[in-house]
Structure 1
Amino acid sequence: MTYAEPPLREPDLPRTAKVRPTALRTGWTTGACATAAAKAAVTALVTGVPQPEVEIGLPGGRRVSFPVARCDLAPGPEARAEAVVVKDAGDDPDVTHGAHLTATVDWRAEPGLDLAGGPGVGTVTKPGLGLAVGGPAINETPRRMIGQAVAEVVDLTEVGVRVVISVPGGEVMARKTTNRRLGILGGISILGTTGIVRPFSTASWRASVVQAVHVMAAQGESTVVLCTGGRTERAARELLPELPEVCFVEVGDFTGAAVTAAVGDGMTGVVFVGMAGKLAKLAAGILMTHYTRSKVDLSLLGAVTAEAGGDADLVAAVTAANTGRHAYELWEAAGLLGPAGDLLCHRVRQVLLRFAERAVTVDVAMVDFAGSRVVASSGRWAA
């Protein structure tokens, strides 16, 4: 199989990339909302006055105000305060949008801040996240933000404060995240590096992909299985039942970032399982496959069709196809799905090997659009 090797490209989305025709609204991370709730509760505890609004500093230096949905005081020898800030994720499709980030605070004998997770905040059960196993899934930046916000109200070198962050319904929300696979059980994570949720953030998705690879590396696994979504992951699990759950990573559009992380973590094997459209983009050397930055190269699929033995009419039809899926259907109707699909997988395998500088083995499988069966492959499954 000889063909001109495509140049390798890993385009990035600008932060201002539009995915809707109208301007999108930014929102606040769970970390920023938890910080605001904590400061409101501590302020109420100190002043004895429920707080209707609170201002916090973001890591970038900007100061922002949050409305406080609820702020309660329990006076007396066991004095404590509780505040709730409702997460507004802006126009980001976030499962935690509308979550009630709740901070319950009281005094403690020892100076300093004791930060804990309550109901709805996950518990870390596996290494590789940069958090203590057994502790709450409150990431480093939110921890720092909460500490700084509390220190704006009290002197933590002289006063001790206990802050418990909880999220009613967080355990249910977490079912729609990758937390369980990462070993975060019982709730959501308190996240954020800037405090701001940027709509349809490619950066956050890329970061989650890289983190998933780091987690499996920390557990001693050597083969990562990259899947483009839920359907391809189901097929991949059936294809590789011997691998533990942590090995399967939904990369979305960030195959390049995942492969780079795998090589950096010393992995020895990469398996990619995808459908025709993503495979066509990868075969063209595009390692970040979001639709705003790349499109299916139908001329490449036409060349694959010819190489697989398709006649001139089929080559022309595939080259003029509407989508990668349309090309797939044309191959299937012509009885060429297996040969053409194998050739496409071979091209993807060569691209990934080049991108990884042959530091890992690479296997590629194409699944049907239901994710129910593998229809083509290259690498270990090649005939």
Structure 2
Amino acid sequence: MDELQPIPDGPLKTGFTTGACATACSKAALLALILQQKIELVTITLPIGSQHEFEIISCSFDHLTSECTTQKDAGDDPDVTHGAIIGATVKLNNSGDINFLQGKGVGKVTLPGLEIGVGEPAINPVPRQMITNACKKLLADHGLDSKGVDVTIFVQDGEIIAKRTLNARLGIMGGISILGTTGIVTPFSASSYIASIVQGINVAVANGATELVINSGARSEKYLTSLFPSLPAFAFIHYGNWIGETLEKIAKSDIKKVNMGIMLGKSVKLAEGILDTHSGKSTWNKAFVHQLAVNSGYKGDFLNQILSLNMAGRLTELFTFAQDEPFYMALIKACHENCSKLIPNVELVLFLINKDGTYIKYA
């Protein structure tokens, strides 16, 4: 997962989850199989209660199976699955059950800790329920109550798309996950990112991890990976901007030690006690940083330059980025104190990271 993108100005268009798309395809494919006719549009009921019509871009069938696809529209969200072709192949069975099978481009769960069991296709509970409800209603409407359906969800190029996600470190191998709890993608949603944080911590704990490395994203993690060669991939968690939510989840887990990497720009906010560090939610307080420097023993007119800096990363122009520099030690100490309040029973080691990858450590 890359570093977070800035939120654009103005109203943003919502989109639809992979789970909603998979449901639309499953319903369309089953309807095509039952009616033996091509389906071009299908309406599904979303978990939030509203209905939406999906365009079916391909539909093929014979007397035994049917397959339909649609193209995902994530709206204005920078979702890696935006534009992906998602599809479903269905076949009637005599068990009366709705069975889920792994299609090409959909991942398989290989580690415990997720909501779906090991060996199952990575189709989350809400999409499974959506598909089950849609299929059972169609069967009932057409007098096929005793029948069940084998549903195979697939995603074109899903294996390639998955490389841009954190699926592999969660033990989801071979493709993307079919996700969604509302059916709607809200652009730049905090809830979806926080859900991925919780999921990552759950997997780490379920697989015996007691030590984590948490970072804002791929860039900061890259700088610290070499310091923890013995830790498995699932022990590395991206907190994005949601430091508070990440630490609160850790506090309720069996994690004993946290190594936290933070870039300079976020650290000046965290030092002041701001736990949501997104630029759209908060800006760095130059007066606070100025006072921090004064309290650290610095004197002189050069301190007034802090008030004219356009970004916190330029503090390195005023204070040499080094382990023994009092300003940075005061900064990282304040960050440590604010984080420790949320995880009082967890050992915390902080790494303040410069843009060139050098770091200052505090424990």
Q: TM-score band, normalised by the shorter chain?
A: over 0.9
The letter of the residue matching 2:166 is T
The letter of the residue matching 1:145 is M
Matching of residues 200-349 of structure 1 within 5 Å: 200-332=188-320, 338-349=325-336
1:360 is aligned to: 346
Q: Give the Cα–Cα distance (whole angstroms) in 1 for the partners of residues 62 and 230 of structure 2.
A: 54
Matching of residues 73-222 of structure 1 within 5 Å: 73-75=61-63, 79-155=64-140, 157-222=145-210
Distance verdict in 2 for CA 1:321–1:43, change over 3 Å: same
The letter of the residue matching 2:306 is V
Alignment size in residue pairs: 355
Distance verdict in 2 for CA 1:337–1:87, change over 3 Å: farther
Q: CA RMSD in A?
A: 1.7
Q: Give the Cα–Cα distance (whole angstroms) in 2 for the partners of residues 123 and 270 of structure 1.
A: 29
Identity over aligned pairs, percent: 37
The letter of the residue matching 1:135 is E
Q: Give the Cα–Cα distance (whole angstroms) in 2 for the partners of residues 349 and 134 of structure 1.
A: 40
Per-residue deviation, 1:331: 1.0
Gaps of 5+ in 2: 1-5
Per-residue deviation, 1:336: 8.8
Per-residue deviation, 1:237: 1.1
Deviations 1:142-195, CA, capped at 9 Å, x for gaps: 000000111121037500211100011000000000101111010000000000
Matching of residues 11-26 of structure 1 within 5 Å: 19-26=7-14
Per-residue deviation, 1:269: 1.7
Gaps of 5+ in 1: 1-17
The letter of the residue matching 2:338 is V
Runs of 4 or more off by more than 6 Å in structure 1?
A: none
Q: Give the Cα–Cα distance (whole angstroms) in 2 for the partners of residues 165 and 230 of structure 1.
A: 30
Q: Give the Cα–Cα distance (whole angstroms) in 2 for the partners of residues 54 and 336 of structure 1.
A: 61
1:350 is aligned to: 337
Q: What's the secondary structure of 1:332's corresponding residue?
A: coil
Moved more, 240-249 or 127-136: 240-249
1:72 is aligned to: 60
Q: Give the Cα–Cα distance (whole angstroms) in 1 for the partners of residues 329 and 306 of structure 2.
A: 16
Equivalent pair of 2:323/2:329 in contact (CA under 8 Å): no
Q: What's the secondary structure of 1:236's corresponding residue?
A: helix
The letter of the residue matching 2:330 is L
The letter of the residue matching 1:115 is F
Equivalent pair of 1:66/1:85 in contact (CA under 8 Å): yes
Q: Give the Cα–Cα distance (whole angstroms) in 1 for the partners of residues 323 and 287 of structure 2.
A: 17
Instruction: Provide TM-score, normalisation by structure 1.
Output: 0.89
Q: Give the Cα–Cα distance (whole angstroms) in 1 for the partners of residues 276 and 269 of structure 2.
A: 9
Per-residue deviation, 1:71: 0.7
Equivalent pair of 2:36/2:62 in contact (CA under 8 Å): no
2:3 is aligned to: none
1:31 is aligned to: 19
The letter of the residue matching 1:86 is Q
Equivalent pair of 1:305/1:314 in contact (CA under 8 Å): no
The letter of the residue matching 2:340 is L
Q: Give the Cα–Cα distance (whole angstroms) in 2 for the partners of residues 274 and 124 of structure 1.
A: 31
Distance verdict in 2 for CA 1:319–1:35, change over 3 Å: same
Q: What's the secondary structure of 2:74's corresponding residue?
A: coil
Equivalent pair of 1:308/1:336 in contact (CA under 8 Å): no
Distance verdict in 2 for CA 1:378–1:336, change over 3 Å: closer
Equivalent pair of 2:136/2:145 in contact (CA under 8 Å): no
The letter of the residue matching 1:55 is T
The letter of the residue matching 1:227 is N
Per-residue deviation, 1:355: 2.5
Instruction: Provide TM-score, normalisation by structure 2.
Output: 0.94
